[in-house]
Structure 1
């Protein structure tokens, strides 16, 4: 009888203990994201790497279609049904989510010391006091070129503005290739691949961007007009009918080998690697004169934050600290070549084209796109107006000075710099 009772006691203890273990392991964190193209990378690389070192915490990656993400996320947050971890779009959309009280401050999160103020700028309050998302990746601007075309024509990588136009002249004179693949039909392409690509060279990156926000510079000043003057000189090199050419057309012209140079964002790397049948290289925006400081647009693209309503905040913080680590940086950046880690610890890229882009951080000063923080919150929207004017300048329907005056007038109509 005693033996039976003892067995029963031991069985009960065993069941209770196993229930206790199951409960301890039963913390599941859900990640909200718009990057549905990342699903396989999360399931096969990111989640297994984290869970291997953090038994008891399970991660579920739950993406929404990119065009639906903002609305769907806001609805879930308002209803209290959003996931524990919120993937953060850069700048104003995420700032609005934080200001509604949905994202927690991460100032004290272990690992945040691995990021510079520029790296954190897309997810930091205007006063610079609170950061609310861990930076995950940025995209870098520059130029991708057809190495075979350059070798055939004996062209060296242009380092200065004069060398850049000399290369374009040589390509045009030969006639085999369209010198540069870019269209103006989609407007944003002209601004993003044009104005925001070369502009930091003239307004000196963060120096000019912050001066514009403070009201110490205007868009009609020389550093802001000059990139438009350079863009106006691109027109003869863009090929016939560039005014009707879409972004997809530009991609196709380059990957089919019909154009020699492509003004690029690093996000093109993955696609171009699968489509181009020729060797590719890349170079940063040329400097005005030999010996000048080099500037690149190293634009914050994606971060991740903590839902203030999460019932597993401590476990979520463990995951966020891991996202802030060099281990995560290496996995993510090499899984998505062209989306570069913002971690201060350099990541060696396995993809040679991606490594070329990221190597510019060692010699160029980084900045973000000039219109993205603070200056596009009113109407007219400076970002959208810059699309229009960049296309107009390249098309020749607006002079650089007229374009700058329109942009400054629009900004003045609603933006008053803080004194």
Structure 2
């Protein structure tokens, strides 16, 4: 009997040893449970390294102003995924193209901050992973998703929308008995009354030159797209041209508006303008919705209102709000080593509580459904956006040449006539035809 018991014990040990050998390979990649990430990513989009192993998720971004949010959210993400260590680098926009190119060239990146232009350009688009089918994308507004689509695929994970509006000082308007202008004629009349009172009508930080585009975007929406929504679809065939009356009108009204800018407007740095406006140094400021954060920070007690810049003489056309849904978002590098970690990060950002926190901190317009905004200015801007059109820049032909910033600055300085600016734009566009994509 003792010999039988000993034999049975020996056999049991052998069986256990064999089973352990079959199931105990610690080097085998573990399957993602999908917990808190929606449906697990398709196999073709999942990185080869195990979610159990330590990985460095390498992220680059150009929105340095979002540092507070990303410091907070990255720490929160690492608590939930302790094996994923975030290496986050953000640099100003002027330095970002160089950083992005260097990191893509060396392959030292997983998540790349960018926008719609990174998707519309086929050469740049070839760098990105198709994230179509990720369940969390259903949380976003269709228009926002569309800005990051091409060839039936989704490449951009959108983070925000922006608009261009005219901010105005409610106290100055009330003191002068002014109403919000609905037409261009009313806008000029308001500017005249403000100027006559000794106050600068419009604050403009033009030292960096590119902010002139905010004024162009504000005027163009009602003048061009308000009356001709498909204007830019005819540019390649010259059915429509920059020399058409609509764009000459844009430059003409820009020139008129230049009379109401503060003295030495082209010498003021763009970043200084919102703070000065909040201090009451001018009655209005034509700028992007993103400046609401600086305005509120500069003077929390400041009573500010917003309206769409009335470029047209027809009030109904000025209800066309210029909106960009693809200014900022995320793309996954298609050859990234850590695709699985990058997909988890995007899912984490898309959770309503985390995304709402972003909107609260960044004070941007949300692109996700059912997100309430706490910023009074942002709420006021959102109420203007019922009838939307894209920033005219979003309809530019890839590879074409556009020097509108230079010509606009020359126009407000009086060095170029509106007709000449429009003609130069059209000539540049046609001359660049060999580079069109």
TM-score (norm 1): 0.80
Provide structure 2 residue ranges, at least 5 long, that are not aligned to the other structure: 1-8, 31-49
Structure 1 position 187 matched with structure 2 position 202: no
Write out aligned runs for 1:393-412 (5 A): 393-412=411-430
Cα 1:46/1:167, change in 2 over 3 Å:
farther
Partner SS for 2:189: helix
Residues of 1 paired with 2:189 and 2:107: CA distance? 59
Residues of 2 paired with 1:92 and 1:374: CA distance? 13
Cα 1:43/1:252, change in 2 over 3 Å:
closer
Write out aligned runs for 1:117-136 (5 A): 118-120=143-145, 123-125=148-150, 128-136=151-159
CA drift at 1:311:
3.7
In the other structure, the counterpart of 2:220 is: 199
Larger radius of gyration: 2
CA drift at 1:215:
4.2
CA drift at 1:139:
2.1
Q: Give aligned pairs, total.
A: 392
Residues of 1 paired with 2:139 and 2:337: CA distance? 27
CA drift at 1:171:
0.9
- After superposition, what is the alpha-carbon deviation per residue over 1:23-59, rounded to whole angstroms, capped at 9, x for unaligned? 73745533222333323312324652x567x656746
In the other structure, the counterpart of 2:335 is: 309
CA drift at 1:342:
2.5
In the other structure, the counterpart of 2:322 is: 297
Residues of 2 paired with 1:208 and 1:81: CA distance? 41
Write out aligned runs for 1:348-367 (5 A): 348-361=372-385, 363-367=386-390
Partner SS for 2:383: helix
Residues of 1 paired with 2:366 and 2:103: CA distance? 29
In the other structure, the counterpart of 2:40 is: none
Cα 1:40/1:239, change in 2 over 3 Å:
closer
CA drift at 1:134:
0.8
1:187/1:390 contact within 8 Å kept: no
| Cα RMSD for the two superposed structures | 3.5
Cα 1:33/1:17, change in 2 over 3 Å:
same
In the other structure, the counterpart of 1:273 is: 296
Partner SS for 1:316: helix
Partner SS for 1:269: helix
Residues of 1 paired with 2:237 and 2:378: CA distance? 34
Residues of 2 paired with 1:213 and 1:110: CA distance? 38
Cα 1:165/1:34, change in 2 over 3 Å:
same
CA drift at 1:196:
1.4
Partner SS for 2:320: strand
1:103/1:305 contact within 8 Å kept: yes
Residues of 1 paired with 2:152 and 2:140: CA distance? 15
> Which of 339, 347, 366 in structure 1 is aligned with 2:371?
347
Residues of 2 paired with 1:45 and 1:375: CA distance? 37
Structure 1 position 35 matched with structure 2 position 35: no
In the other structure, the counterpart of 1:81 is: 108
Residues of 1 paired with 2:124 and 2:435: CA distance? 23
Structure 1 position 105 matched with structure 2 position 122: no
Structure 1 position 336 matched with structure 2 position 392: no
CA drift at 1:136:
1.1
